[in-house]
Every structure is written in C-alpha cells, then in structure tokens.
Structure 1
Amino acid sequence: MATPDTEVNPYELLGLTLECTEQDIRTAYRQTSRKVHPDRNRNDPDAARKFHVLTQSYELLLDPLRRLALDAKLRVKAARDERFKSYDNKRKNMVTELEERERAFKKAKIDQQRDEASRWQETEKIKDEGRRLREERENELRRREQEANRPPAEDNMDAPSLDPLDTTIRLKYRLSAHPSLTTPTALAALLAPFGAIDTESIVISSKAPKKSPDKPPKHATALVPFKQIGDAFAAVCASGRADRGMDGIEAGWVGGKEPDILVWLKKMGKLSAQPPPPASRPSPNSSGPAQLPQTAPTASASPFSSFPTSFPDLPSMPAEPKAAAPGVDYEALTLMRLRQAERERLEREILEQEAAEGV
C-alpha cells in the first residue's frame, strides 16, 4: 500500500496546494472522506484502503513538522522535474535508466532483507523445536530412570484387607426354572458342593412384576455368605454352568466387582483368572458360626486347584461368640443385633436394585 510520504501526494489526494491553510485541509478532508468512506461504497472492495490512505494524508498535513518535510521534498521533486524537461532526449534516457536501476537496486535490497529475515525466523523456529524435543527426551529418560530406581511400593506388595462382604455372592434366577429355591435351606443345599455357607444369614427376595402385581413372582434374588472366599470364588466361576448345578442361575459378587484380595492374588500370579474344570468335593456342613477365613480351602477340598492354598496374613473377623459362657451374654446379644442389622441392610439393597431394574 502506498504511503503518503512517498508515492501518494497528500495535496493532490485532497485537491489542495502547498499554500493551503489548516482550515482548508479540514474542509477538504471532510468533503473527500464522504465520497470514499466504506459505508458509502459497500460495493468497492478497495474502499477501506482508500479511506485509510486519505486519513493518513490528512494527519500528515496537520502535523507541522511532517508537512514541512513533505513540502521540501515536493519542491525538490518539482525542481528536478523542471531540470529534466530541459534535458535533451539522450540525457533524459540516461536519467530515466539511472532511476530505474536505483529503484531495482532498492527493491532487490528490500527483497534480500525480507528473505534473510524469513530464513532467520525459520532457523530460530527449527532451533526452538529441536530444543523442545531434546528437553522432552531428557525428561522422558529422567522419568524412566527414576521409575527404574524407585523401590516397589509397599501397597502393591501387601495384601489388601478382607472386607466382610467379600465372601458374599449374589444369585439371580427364574423361579419357574428353580421353584424349590425359595428357602435358605434349599439354597444352602444347592451351593454346598462349593463350600461351607452361613445358612442363617442367607437373604432371599422375590417380587411380583410391576405391571402384574397380582401374579406370582418370576425372578428371585439371593445373597449367600460363604465362610471361605475361595468357596465364594468357585461359586461365582460356576455361574450358569449346568455341570455344577448352576444352570439358569447367575452368580456374581455382592459388591458388583471382584474383591480386592482376588485382584491382588491374580496380580501376584497366585490365582488363575480362568480356573480349570471343577473336581468333585464332599458337601461340608453348612451350619455353625460364620468366620472370615485366614486360609482358603486346601487343594483337595477346593473345586478350583488354581486358587491358592493359603492367603497372606489377613486380619480375621471375630467369630460369633459361643453360647453358654457366663459373662458374655451382652457381647453375644450385641453381635446378634449387628448381624440382624446387616441382614436388613442387604434386604433393602436387593429391593432397591429390583425396583431400579423394574423386575
């Protein structure tokens, strides 16, 4: 874009002479700006540039110092033009050729400076990118070295604690396929091949369909607490398997996910994610007080030989107090109340889940 100092003559642009006053400049600008304003020339794509050049010329003429320099330049140019008119054709051609060479030299110099600046910027950009990549590699190597030298975390080595619900599984089945599974005793007998069960703590819930509340229930949900987590694991792995007597019965963990202790055993390589085919085992006695195991069933007693024969040191839950001991009636009563509260909580959980599923 042309600048008012060089290619554009501000006086000619505003239609003024060198002898004009400041008031003449303001009046000429006001009149000319109306003609070239972009709002009045929406169809002219060059209107914004023209208005900008006009504004620059107006500001230049109102600046006394800049106007003085411009006047001197214009007078020198006018004197040069007058001298040029007095030259013969040969000298005119020489002057014209000289001026063209000067313009070409200036243009080449400007282009060279522009190219050098562009190359310098590109070089700096490449340097910055290389510096950034080098820092990223150094940081990555430093991080890997720190991870390699970092001692294994104790949390990853220590076995997680055994939650009271880790030995409890959730069963879901259709009553039409298993009409006899409506009592804790029947469920305990079905699951007895897997291990000892706390029969008294079994919770069964069956609810009629919402659309037909007068009809008998179609589905049932049960919470079955095993005494050994290995037995609970075996029952969950046998979910839906007819050869284990679980055809049409969906077995899962009451917490909705695998207990932390089993995840830890698999991570440590002490428990196979896919247990081998089951082996027969005798039916253990399902009665007696519920105790949280310190050890899993032995290889001869477990239907899954992949389950470890013993757990690492785990905090054991206190067993239910044995009856007939003088002085412990209050403790036994407290434990019985806690157990009843836990059973009621599990029943509420089943009812809430059935209501959410729309069973």
Structure 2
Amino acid sequence: MSTTEDEISPYELLNVTIEATEQEIRTAYRQRSLKVHPDRNPNNPDAARKFHELNQAYELLLDPLRRLALDAKQRLKLARKERFKSYDNKRKNLVEELEERERAFKKARMEKQKEEVETWKDTERIKEEGKRLREQKEKELRDKMYPKKEQVADEEEEDAPPAMDPLDTTVRLKYPFKTYPHLTTPAAIASLLARFGATDESSIVMSTSLKGKTPSDKPPKTGSALVPFKQIGDAFAAVCSNGSKEMGLEGIKITWVNGKEPEILGWLRKMGKLGNAGSSAPDSKPKDSSYSPKNDAPKATLPQNQSRPSSSTPFSSFPSTFPENVSGSESTPAPVAGIDYESLTLMRMRQAERERLEREILEQEANE
C-alpha cells in the first residue's frame, strides 16, 4: 500500500476495531461508501480516490490471509506505540529523529528513482529524434545523388520499343478484277509487290471466292489478299504507296491487316526516326520497276528510279536499323529432323491465323 495507507490502516478507514467481525465490516463499508461515493459528491475532487481506498480496505479485511498479516502488523504497531509511551523524553526524541530520518531517506530514494526514470525517458526521446533526423538527412542525400528507381524505370519504359505483333508486317490488298484480271495467284501478288521488298509468297492468303468458280458463275468484281512482307519497312512502303499511279497501283487499296498502323511505327516516329506516313509516300523508291500491269496501262518511271544507285534504300523515310530487341518479322523456321514443341506450336498458330483471316475476307465480301 502507499504511504498514506501505511499511516491510515484499513480499520481506521472503515472506522472499525481490529476485533470487528465480517458482518460489522460489511455494515461499516455500506455506511462509509454512501458518504464518499463520487455520485453523491460530484463537487469533491477527492471523492473518487477516497472511494477507491475504501474498496481496497474492504476487500483486504474480507480476505482471511491478508487480514491475518494486517492484524500481525497492526499488533506490532500498537506494541511499538505502547513502548514509545514508556520512554522518557530524551529517548522519545531519539526515536522520533530516527523515524524522521528514515522517512526522509525513503522519500529521497523515491524522488531519485523518479528522476532517473525521467532522465531515461528524455534520453530515449533524444535518441529517437536524432535517429529520425539522421535517417531523413540520409534519405534526402540519396534522393539528391541518385534518381529514384521508379523514375528511371519509367523513362526506360518510355524509351523502350513496343513488342511487335506477328501481323505487323502483313498488308491487305483490295483490287478490281476488271483492271487486274491476272492477280489470281500468290505468285502474281508477290510479283506486283516485289518492288517494295521480299514477301512470304507461301503465306499469302487469297480470297477464297476465286476458287471453285464455274463459267456460268458471275465473275467477282474485286479481289483481296493478305500479303506478309519479310520486313516491316517494306510493308510500310507498300502502304504508303496505296493507290499510287506512279507505282502502277492505281485502283489498288493497300492497308494494314489489323486496320491500324503498327505500334513500332508510332514509336519510331516519336523517336524522330520516321517521318509521317502521308509525307513519305511521294519519296517511295520501289526496288523493282520492271513490273507493269497487264491491262496495257502506261508504265510510270520516276526520275529518282532512272538515276538511283543499286545501294539506295528501298524506302528513304524508313530507318535502316531497328533496336536490338525488335525484329522485322518472324522468319519461317528451317525444316529440321526433330522439330521442337515450340516451333510446332508456332506453325499451328500461324495456320489458325490464316484460316481466321480467310473467314474475315469471306464475311466482308458477303457483306459487300
């Protein structure tokens, strides 16, 4: 118990004697609790403390073991008081002086412990504050010396070229049969576009409306084909020459098979390595100008083609090199004795894509 409780015993708090019974203790507790209860003394700031001390005294006196120890202590205290009464004045003064020293020593020790606790708390608080300031300074220094990883990653991601789609090198041709009646085979289509670059003739998909026709059937008005180039630059040149009379492509519509420009071209244009598609078309330089339509259309010869050296680029506005992680197109794997699973899967995927494109052509022609 506290110092106050040592000076005032539970018996004194309940106003009962050391020989009081449990019933007397209960009665005394009820009477005293009504006087010091906080609800009955709202204006007394010590009411809660007094009521708490009264409860502790009541619980202690109802506990037989704790009350036995308290009774022994109380009897010892009473015996000491009786002895003190029998002392002469000189001895009483010595005893009082000794007790006063003991109380002063105990008080000083408690105050010292309290000061030590406060000092320890202040030291820990200063350490935490110093640690926080040090970490903040180190973080500011790191941020100043080294750019943030997220910022560097974002910049690298912006500068990185996009992944190429397998169909980025494929173009769609639509042409009138009345003007180009000879364009009925992949070889003829490949020959027409040979001026722009090499095509994968074996993968050219022709309109299936050309197959199975009988003389009694009405001939189709237009033809269509999907032509995969081996280099995206060649496909870009072909699209830019869409319907060009100078290229011998009058009436032929050449568009990207996906209906939009490949992302890699937008990236090249953003990096300043490629001009606008619209402005690049007049600068197109076909690789082979020997082709002429079979409908006796006049052969167009550009001045650039007459004096062009053999080492000139096929399409002047298109970059000659790509980033290392971007390839022009997927080359067909050479046949080997034991083809691996990945190559077989790729071949099946390409075959499925061709069948899908053939179905699209049929649906478009049916709608037209």
**TM-score, normalization by structure 2:** 0.47
Larger Rg: 2
